[in-house]
């Protein structure tokens, strides 16, 4: 993959085995039955938002594009499938030449979504499109969950910066994806250097309690850090006694000390005390950073506190209690025959309970009120009403197998701020509630 246009330093390896075995066995059976080349339309959507959430955030689209581009079966992968007896030789020969040559449309990354929103639509032959199910869902379910949590935290934080610090709380590769998704959702920096290297996200970090404990005294530790990183550094002040640490920090760094970090205790009370102490010591411009198992509710509770920035880890990278979005990838239409130009026939699963879906190739638009505020997510399979033509949400992502929508990471980040800003004000409430927009099928 060539990502030089975005300055990305890391190429993505083959994603062909980031899949479930039944994708490949379905392919083998379809090749044998003669239906593999039928034109097919798959859609990604979720039937519901996580309990209490008012909107979702589309994230991971850029990673999906990388994954589709790199879905290749090289000799090593083919040998693995052959040795395990998973596929027959005709299917392995077909996979050797696999390239996705179809089209993908979807909500642009950073956009918000609601139950039933056709977040991504994959069109091609059944054979080429069915193989992408697992990897697409894996990326979108994870990244969108993190981005939704990040968005809620960004709302709670207001204008105060947010630092992503969750690498040690999740799988090492998930940490990189989580940092990217958090940036899309509104975070400003990450502590994860792999994410900074891969996606050019700004990175941050100074010292932990271990550095203080390494030295004979807290003063020795602060002195070493300031001499190394300068007086603008952030000193961790809750290893022993906070008040004494703040006094020592200002004595060592001077009134130009960049920031102090508080990582434990009653953050609301301690932040007020530390602010007062800093001001009395002449360090009026020294900032206060708080960490310690924060989520959106804890951040909101600190709105009145003299806090300048938040560092968030566990709750962010686990979706703040909702680590997946329950997105699915369903066949919604297929050609009546293998003939070129054969008409599409809507298809849908019929089942008991809540696992039903709506057949047909769908469009989506967001209807606005007279003030330009969104009032409904409108989804249909027929002609798009004239009044909604200019409000359609899906954009081309891949055309004829070629990626057409790769963009710098700041683009979806800015897009999300705009999309969230067009929702009704109640979307920013952290209290539990129904989706802020109804979904209308027409």
pLDDT score, position 2: 45
Task: Answer for the pair 398, 386: CB distance below 8 angstroms, yes or no.
Answer: no
d(CA 427, CA 52): 11
What pLDDT is recorded for position 234?
98
Whether the Cβ atoms of residue 98 and residue 392 lie closer than 8 Å to each other: no
3-state secondary structure of 59: coil
Is 4-131+326-441 assigned to CATH 3.40.47.10? no
pLDDT score, position 65:
97
Give the fold, CATH level 3, of 151-320: TIM Barrel (3.20.20)
Show pLDDT as tens, one digit a residue, over the chain (442 residues): 445 456 666 666 799 999 999 999 999 999 999 999 999 999 999 999 999 899 999 999 999 999 999 999 999 999 999 999 999 999 999 999 999 999 999 999 999 999 999 999 999 999 999 999 999 999 999 999 999 999 999 999 999 999 999 999 999 999 999 999 999 999 999 999 999 999 999 999 999 999 999 999 999 999 999 999 999 999 999 999 999 999 999 999 999 999 999 999 999 999 999 999 999 999 999 999 999 999 999 999 999 999 999 999 999 999 999 999 999 999 999 999 999 889 999 999 886 666 778 899 999 999 999 999 999 999 999 999 999 999 999 999 999 999 999 999 999 999 999 999 999 999 999 988 899 999 999 9
Where do the domains of the chain lie? 4-131+326-441, 151-320
What pLDDT does residue 432 have? Answer: 86
Element (H, E) at 197: helix 193-199
Query: How many CA atoms are closer than 13 Å to the CA of 60, on its beta-carbon side?
Result: 30
In the 8-state DSSP scheme, what is residue 332?
Answer: E
| Residue 278 C-alpha from the chain's centroid | 37
């Amino acid at each position: 993959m060539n990502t030089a246009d975005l300055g990305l330093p890391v190429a993505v390896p083959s994603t062909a085995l980031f899949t479930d075995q039944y994708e490949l066995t379905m392919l083998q059976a379809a090749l044998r039955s003669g239906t593999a080349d039928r034109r097919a339309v798959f859609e990604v959507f979720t039937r519901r938002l996580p309990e209490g959430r008012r909107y979702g955030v589309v994230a991971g689209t850029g990673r999906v594009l990388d994954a589709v581009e790199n879905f290749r079966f090289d000799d090593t992968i083919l040998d693995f499938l052959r040795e395990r007896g998973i596929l027959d030789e005709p299917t392995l020969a077909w996979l050797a030449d696999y390239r996705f040559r179809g089209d993908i449309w979807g909500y642009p990354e950073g956009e918000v979504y609601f139950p039933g929103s056709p977040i991504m639509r994959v069109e091609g032959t059944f054979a080429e499109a069915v193989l992408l199910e697992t990897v697409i869902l894996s990326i979108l379910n994870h990244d969108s969950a993190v981005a939704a949590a990040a968005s809620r935290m960004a709302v709670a934080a207001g204008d105060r910066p947010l630092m992503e610090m969750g690498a040690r709380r999740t799988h090492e590769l998930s940490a990189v994806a989580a940092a990217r998704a958090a940036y899309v959702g509104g975070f400003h920096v990450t502590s994860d250097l792999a994410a900074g290297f891969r996606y050019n996200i700004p990175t941050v970090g100074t010292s932990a309690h271990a550095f203080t404990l390494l030295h004979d005294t807290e003063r020795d530790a602060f002195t070493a850090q300031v001499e190394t990183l300068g007086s603008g550094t952030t000193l961790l002040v809750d290893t022993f006694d906070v008040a004494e640490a703040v006094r020592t920090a200002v004595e060592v760094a001077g009134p130009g000390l960049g920031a102090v970090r508080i990582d434990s205790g009653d953050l609301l009370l301690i932040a007020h005390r530390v602010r007062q102490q800093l001001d009395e010591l002449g360090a009026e411009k020294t900032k206060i950073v708080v960490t310690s198992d924060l989520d959106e509710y804890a951040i909101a509770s600190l709105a009145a506190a003299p806090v300048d920035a938040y560092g968030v880890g566990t709750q962010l990278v686990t979706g703040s209690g909702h680590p997946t979005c329950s997105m699915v990838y369903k066949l919604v239409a297929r050609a009546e025959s293998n003939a070129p130009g054969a008409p599409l026939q809507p298809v849908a699963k019929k089942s008991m309970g809540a696992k039903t879906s709506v057949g047909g190739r769908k469009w989506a638009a967001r209807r606005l009120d007279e003030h330009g505020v969104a009032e409904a997510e409108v989804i249909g399979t027929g002609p798009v009403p004239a009044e909604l033509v200019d409000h359609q949400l899906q954009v081309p992502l891949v055309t004829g197998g070629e990626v057409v929508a790769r963009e710098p990471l700041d683009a979806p980040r800015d897009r999300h701020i705009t999309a969230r800003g067009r929702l009704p004000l109640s979307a920013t409430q952290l209290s539990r509630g129904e989706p802020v927009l109804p979904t209308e099928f027409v």
